[in-house]
Amino acid sequence: MSPSYQLPDLLSLCRPFELRTNVFCRPAMIASEAWLLGLKTTDLNDVLTETERTSLHATKTGLLAGLCVPSCGQPQLRFFADFLSFLIIADGRIKRAGDAEGSGWMDGDTESGIDSLTQHELFQYLRPEFLRLVARADPSWDTRFAASVHSYRSAQLQVITSRLSNVIPDLETYISLRRDLSGLYMILDLIELSENLNIPLADDGTSKKVAILKQLTADIIGCSLDVFTFNIDQAQGNRHNIITILMENKRLSLQGALNFAGALIKQFFNSFLETEKSLFCHPTPPQTNHSGTGTLSSYWNWITSVRLATPPASPPPGPQSSNMECGGDTCLGDLPSYVQTLKDCIVGTINWAYETELYFGRKGEEIRTFGWVFFNPKVIGEEHS
């Protein structure tokens, strides 16, 4: 295996999508980090480990929240910064867990999504915010969110079981597992509720296309993050990564597996654009503010260089006439805004991956420019815990 490898150019795939960030990104990030660092258990121990506390600021989860939810107000953005922080930390803990007891899930599954999620050792600290948010949710949202939480929990436990059994899934099985493991369905459910989006799904064709777009969003993000985190995973011996699975199942070289993954992600992007086009009679043309591959001198310079999305002072108005009909009298409601949310999550996550130190340390800008990654040394024993 060569000492270095070249990443597929995932940034270029994002060019049809506009990159935006929330005007409240920085204050929300500061408030979230302060709260997380101050969290204590009932016996007054820190909730986060020393390693998690040390790496919190460099992870830049507040930036990720600002890119994925660029149009919400500051209180909502703060909530998403907290939630995404727990999602990232929980993912790291699952990779280190030696058994189901180390999964962070304290009790069995329940019918309620909120009750199930807040039985997790991290998400329990967001229970008051969850309850305030879901107070206005309708039963159909509760049902969907419960399914998202249960799938997330099941995927985490499955990863632990497979690792203990030394089982590596095939590609199709893994992509399905990775979809749920990302937690993206929970994020999208929460954004939908927080942004008060009305998504009409009475029409079977529309409902199916929206489900396909959500699935493709999860596949793009999950597989892209696997590409970015491969160096960390190989060093820690984590084999639940699409690159490792391609190498083992398809007998590919490392670079061959990366090229295959890049082509697969490109296929997901193309399917997303085709499905979007079929959903709307006249889809919004590609934005001129590309995510591109331009050099970014620093994190905050980059923040100020992208378009700042101004959050609405009140819930968004009803759909304009151009969004009311498509091939008949079908009302699209807030469906265009929801599809924009999917795009925000995709382009935001892929760009954030080069800004956070989670995957490339402080070499994100260099790797963004040239694409080459040098292998991390193998981690022995408990060094990565």
**Confidence band for 2, pLDDT divided at 50, 70 and 90:** low
State pLDDT tens for residues 204-251.
Answer: 788 899 999 999 999 999 999 999 999 999 999 999 999 999 999 999
Output the CA–CA distances (angstroms, integers) from residue 29 to 63, 79, 185, 218, in the order listed.
Answer: 7, 10, 22, 24
Model pLDDT, residue 385: 46
Average pLDDT, whole number, for the chain?
A: 87
Phi and psi for 312 in degrees, rounded to 5?
-70, 145
CA distances from 341 to 21, 76, 227, 336, 368 (A): 12, 15, 23, 9, 24
Question: What is the 3-state composition of the chain as percent helix, strand, coil, each rounded to the nearest 5?
Answer: 60, 5, 35
Residues 6+ apart with CB under 8 A from 242: 171, 174, 175, 178, 223, 226, 227, 261
Q: Predicted confidence band at 323 (pLDDT cuts at 50, 70, 90)?
A: very low
Q: How confident is the model at residue 298 (pLDDT cuts 50, 70, 90)?
A: very low
What pTM was computed for the model?
A: 0.87
Q: Could you say which DSSP state residue 308 is in?
A: E
pLDDT at residue 307 greater than cutoff 50: no
Give percent of the chain above pLDDT 70.
83
**pLDDT on residue 68:** 98
- Which residue(s) pair with 20 in the sheet? 307
pLDDT digits (tens, 9 = 90+) for 261-271: 999 999 999 99
Residues forming a β-bridge with 372: 6
- Is residue 162's pLDDT more than 70? yes
Q: Which residue type does 321 have?
A: S
Residue 125 to residue 360: CA distance in whole angstroms: 29
Other CB atoms within 10 Å distance of the CB of residue 164: 12
CA separation for the pair 349, 338 (Å, rounded): 17
State the virtual CA torsion across 288, 289, 292, 296 in degrees, nearest 10: 150
| CATH annotation of 4-368 | 1.10.600.10
For the cut 60, the answer to whether the pLDDT of residue 382 exceeds it is no
Q: Give the residue with greater pLDDT, 83 vs 326.
A: 83
- The residue extents of the domains of the chain are 4-368
CA 306 to chain centre: 20
- Token representation of residue 55: 């790496």
Task: Round to whole Å and give the CA distance between 60 and 348.
Answer: 12
6 pLDDT band, cuts 50/70/90, is very high
Contact assessment for residue 262 and residue 227, using Cβ atoms and an 8 Å cutoff: yes
| Model confidence band, residue 103 (pLDDT cutoffs 50, 70, 90) | confident
pLDDT band for position 330 (cuts 50, 70, 90): low
Per-residue confidence at 297, pLDDT binned at 50, 70, 90? very low
pLDDT above 60 for 318: no
Q: Is 4 helix (H, G, I), strand (E, B) or coil?
A: strand
pLDDT of residue 292: 38
Sign of CA dihedral 34, 39, 45, 46: negative
pLDDT confidence of residue 236? 92
Residue 14 has pLDDT above 80, yes or no: yes
